[in-house]
Amino acid sequence: MRQLIYILCVAIMSISCAQSQNKQKQENMSYNKLSPEEEKVIVHKGTEAPYTGEYTNNKKAGVYVCKRCDAPLYRSSDKFDSYCGWPSFDDEIKGAVKRVADVDGRRTEIICANCGAHLGHVFLNEGFTAKETRHCVNSISLKFIPEENRMIKKAYFASGCFWGTEYYFMKAKGVTHTAVGFMGGHVDHPAYQQVCRKDTGHLETTEVEYDISETSYEDLVKLFFETHDFTQTNGQGPDIGPQYLSCIFYSDEREKETAEKYMAILQDKGYKVATMLKPASVFWKAEDYHQQYYEHKGDTPYCHVYKRIFD
């Protein structure tokens, strides 16, 4: 009995500690300044009057971000007309919105997963769309970034099996799209089986599209080094062959200098860096079944593991 009580006490203390740390993390974050009206909704969980919000009838392409912390929350492609008086979405950007029980005991509140800002409520099984989900969101909790204002760039990384490389990049903040394929070879339109024969000169490569207002090339380079063994000279993990070598394909001198900067940092830390630097060339997209492989399979990489290296 004493052992059971001890275990329960430890569990309660652990939960309390985690909640305290999360609260402290949120308190320490730097937030955008809010007007009294915005604070009433976002901080004190109020509700703006129906049909008065700025984005209720907005049909432009773009992304909706949190008014308080700028975290991306919803895509315009998931917005629909529910005629309820508030913006409605049938899906959120993965991991961006958290559901919690409302204090009224009946509804489910939705908050920004990053900063805890009140967004509105979520309702299910109403029949509006095939997803049977309606995020009813206050316009005042959002900020809309039109598609034309988003600055998208592309970067190219090879770190072994492109399934594993893509797995980590597609989950990174600011990354809008990823694709896997081949780069650096001498054969046009290479097929996967050709590259596997190891005579086309290609490396399995991931194309990363990212929004420079949300992340940087520097952040991507750090993630690249932190998710594979950049000291291995004959492949990656159990995958041996020239197509699995570590390489950063740079598109300009700035990218090359950034890569060189972090390679020098790693060498100062005592690592023998085997990563190659090559100018980007034609990216040949791989067959469809390779794209977002682990996302569709519901599995995790076998030769890529995240290991924090940089502060």
Active-site amino acid positions: 136, 161
CA pair distance 74, 33, nearest whole angstrom: 21
Please name which of 220, 216, 144, 207 lies closest in space to residue 178, comparing C-alpha atoms: 207
Burial state string for 279-306 with b = 16 or more CB within 10 A and e = fewer than 16: ebeebbebeeebbbbbeeeeeebebbee
Residue whose tokens read 């924090």: 308
E strand intervals along 54-190: 62-66, 72-75, 79-80, 88-89, 97-101, 108-112, 118-124, 133-137, 142-146, 152-159, 175-183
DSSP, collapsed to helix, strand or coil, labels residue 18 as: helix
CB of 113 closer than 8 Å to CB of 71: yes
H or E, element range at 250 = strand 246-250
CB of 145 closer than 8 Å to CB of 63: yes
Separation of CA 9 from chain center: 36
Report helix, strand and coil shares of the chain as percent, to nearest 5: 30, 25, 45
CA pair distance 39, 52, nearest whole angstrom: 17
Residue whose tokens read 């390679």: 263
